[in-house]
Amino acid sequence: MTDNYKEVIAKLQEDANKIQHHLSQMKASTSKSSGVIEREIDDYMCEVETLCIRSRILLDGYRQVDVVSDCYTTDKSVAKIAGSVEETRDGWLHITLNTLLPNCRYRVSGYIGDTVNRLLRDYKYELPFFDKAFLAIVEYCNYEKHNALDNDNKGWKMIPNVLKGRVIADDSQFILSIGLFSKISDDVRCEIYVMPPDDGSIFMDLLSRDEL
């Protein structure tokens, strides 16, 4: 186990070194083109998020989850960093992400999809299931704190893929309706709701009155 663990760490270190080299290139760049700078940022973020996913996959098997220790607070720290899952009193699935949707104008990693997948996997109760559903994604941000102002540059498509087969039967247009919303807020986060289609009007009313 030790040898394999060291090999895994070495591979992750190689990836981390590549990211560090990418940062050095960004620092040395003299380009003032907003397009070039945005692409550099997207490439860098994609590499970092991909390394995060790879680290999760490769290192999770080495966790000793049965160890009881004052410093072993994995569940709490993950929830604090990633987000949370709950079923509302109305039977809706509610997922909170402590981040915004990524900008997918140039590249997008699987970070958000992997994060939602893990939150659902670690949910301790039975998940609600919908034959047909309305998926509402609400970003809380402002003009200074955002990843993308244009809706077509927001990376949300991995979310229904994660829900398919677990919360909804399929993500086809005849089964799943999707709404993308934004609210001005200094408390940056992304709230995801899955509900019966007939509850869509209730959701819209609560959203307009800031009562979600």
Higher-confidence position of 130 and 71: 130
Regarding pTM above 0.85, the answer is no
Kindly tell me if the per-residue pLDDT of 63 is higher than 70: no
pLDDT at res. 66: 45
- Do 109 and 13 reside in the same domain of the chain? no
3-state secondary structure labels for all residues of the chain: CHHHHHHHHHHHHHHHHHHHHHHHHHHHCCCCCHHHHHHHHHHHHHHHHHHHHHHHHHHHHHCCCCCCCCCCCHHHHHHHHHEEEEECCCCCEEEEECCCCCECCCCCCCHHHHHHHHHHHCCCCCCCCECCEEEEEEEEECCCCCCCCCHHHECCCHHHHHHECCCECCCCCCCEEEEEEEEECCCCEEEEEEECHHHHHHHHHHHHCCCC
Together in a domain, 62 and 102: no
Domain boundary, last residue among 21, 41, 72: 72
Number of structural domains (the chain) is 2
Residue 115 sits in a domain whose CATH number is 3.30.1330.70
Percent of the chain topping pLDDT 70:
85
Do 115 and 21 share a domain, yes or no? Answer: no
Write down which residue in 72, 101, 116 finishes a domain.
Answer: 72
Same domain, 53 and 77: no
Assess whether 102 and 135 both reside in one domain: yes
Where is the domain boundary, 72, 87, 120?
72
Range of the domain at 22: 1-72
Residue 127 has pLDDT above 80, yes or no: yes
